[in-house]
Amino acid sequence: MGYRSDVVIRVKPSLIDSFQAMLKETGFDVCNDSSLPDRLVLNGVKWDDDRKDVNAVIAWMNNEDDLYFGCIILGEEYGDRDEYGSPLDLDIYVNQQIEVEGICEQH
């Protein structure tokens, strides 16, 4: 099956046309909701450097101004995270939490 990642990219309105053109070239689909053309959300995708589509997305991000887009890529391994652009400015962030079975009461 291979290593999988979750990828979120979001762009400001001025980059939507360029963003969608790049996505069409790569074959990645934008969010299914047509009212949200400013984002790409991929879960469990093979995000490998040897893929042409992945390299095209990364090249596009490297050529754009960091202020106009944000991206976070989370790998399967703890701590495997890449960020491009300004994800926090576009409300993209990682939510880390601890889970445990059962209930523990505070004393």
Can you spell out the DSSP letters for the chain? ----EEEEEEE-GGGHHHHHHHHHHHTPPPPSSTT-TTEEEEEEE---TT-HHHHHHHHHHHHS-GGGEEEEEEESSTT-EEEEE-GGGGT---------SS-----
Residue 50 forms part of a structural domain: yes
Residue 45 forms part of a structural domain: yes
pLDDT along the chain (107 residues), means of 10: 86 94 84 77 90 94 97 92 96 86 68
Predicted local distance difference test score (pLDDT) of residue 1: 45
Predicted local distance difference test score (pLDDT) of residue 107: 60
Has this prediction a pTM greater than 0.75? yes
Residue 10 forms part of a structural domain: yes
Domain residues for the domain of 38 are 5-90
Give the chain's domain count: 1
Residue 76 forms part of a structural domain: yes
